Structure 1
Amino acid sequence: MGGSFEDILARARPREKTVMVCLAGDLAGEAERLQDELSRVSEDWEPEDLTAVHPGRALAEQLKTVHAQVREAEEPFTFRYIGDRAYSDLMAAHPAENDNEAFNSESFPRALVAASCVQPAMTVEQVAQLFEVINEGEIKKLFDAAWDVHNASDIVPFSLAASALLASLIGEK
């Protein structure tokens, strides 16, 4: 690596992050309901005899089906760093009403999502429309991704699952 500034700049790319957002809140709610019911049945069930079928079996099958439907209802949203000047201008355009905050918590998240979401591209008005349909958890997921491409300093996030998989693959050789 190394080289001249021009070489370094030519290799530089804006940070990107993609998150999956569930657009089917009804399905997400159904998955939560089934999970709660499965937990309750599993705690309360006592078999009458050895041939009794656990009532959680049918619930688990339903939950598996709903989880698959939830995954199908997820949509990828890709965010890209907009650059230092554009980001600074965006923050300045949405000043906090309170001295203890860095930005206006009502308008800035919508503006940042709109400015940095490259797939699908959205206007601030479209982001506001989306925020009226998805829940606060999904809104937070979108804002956190937009925030992270501008502020996170970790280069490669650690994944325990990926590390375990790689270790098992290396062991197979």
Structure 2
Amino acid sequence: MPDIKALLAKAKPRERIVKVMLDGATAGEIERLEAELLEVQEDWQPSDLTEAHPGRAIAAQIAELREKARESEAEFRFRYIGDEEYSSLLAAHPSASKEELFDSDSFPRALIAASCVDPVMTADEAKELFKVINQGQIQRLFDAAWDVHNAAGLVPFSLAASALLAAAGGGEK
């Protein structure tokens, strides 16, 4: 049977990295151009065989903007903060409702700030970030912070990696 000190020496807090796109204006422009492209594809009729499809220029713009959007992505690394600190954080953000574990306004911001180790941020800085990213992105950050504290799985399973390895003849073990 292993010695607890040996196990503790090997133990590391759970971590998770997520990406968030910070350029919301570019995302909106891509969506506008995709709608325009769909409209052009439905309505366009060439007047002769030499006429170029106007959707090609729109598709090129979309490809350029997608690259710009990818360049605006930022990685956020979350790490488990420990049982006592997590319990204290929950206790500091009680819900007004007995059916909820925590205050849904203040706790997500506090948990993101407390467990994000790269970039390091305060709760006030998380609040500033929440003013420019959308609710889906906020939820993505909160889900990562929540998962490092509450996910119960042993070794994370990767369906994509398993499928690639199976196709190559070596399955995930």
> What's the TM-score once normalised by structure 1's chain length?
0.88
**Corresponding residue for residue 66 of structure 1:** 65
SS in 2 for 1:86: helix
Q: Secondary structure at the match of 1:57?
A: helix
Q: Structure 1 CA distance, aligned partners of 2:5 and 2:44? A: 68
Q: Specify whether residues 7 and 159 from structure 1 end up closer, same or farther in structure 2 by C-alpha distance, changes over 3 A only.
A: same
CA RMSD of aligned residues (A): 1.9
Q: Secondary structure at the match of 1:18?
A: strand
Query: 1:136 & 1:70 partners in 2: Cα distance?
Result: 18
Matched to 2:66, the amino acid is: H
Q: Are residues 1:134 and 2:133 paired?
A: yes
Distance 1:106 1:124 in 2: 12
Is the counterpart of residue 3 in structure 1 residue 2 in structure 2? yes
> Shift of the alpha carbon at 1:52?
3.7
* Corresponding residue number in structure 1 for 2:103: 104
CA distance 1:153–1:35, shift in 2 (3 Å) = farther
Structure 2 unaligned segments of length 5 or more: list them. Answer: none
Does the residue aligned with 1:20 lie in a helix, a strand or coil?
strand
Q: Which residue pairs with 2:29 in the alignment?
A: 30
Q: TM-score by structure 2 length?
A: 0.88
Shift of 1:170: 4.5
In structure 2, distance between residues paired with 1:10 and 1:36: 55
1:117, CA displacement in angstroms? 0.3
Which residue identity does 2:69 align to in structure 1?
V
Q: Provide the aligned length of Structure 1 versus Structure 2.
A: 169
Partner of 1:159: 159
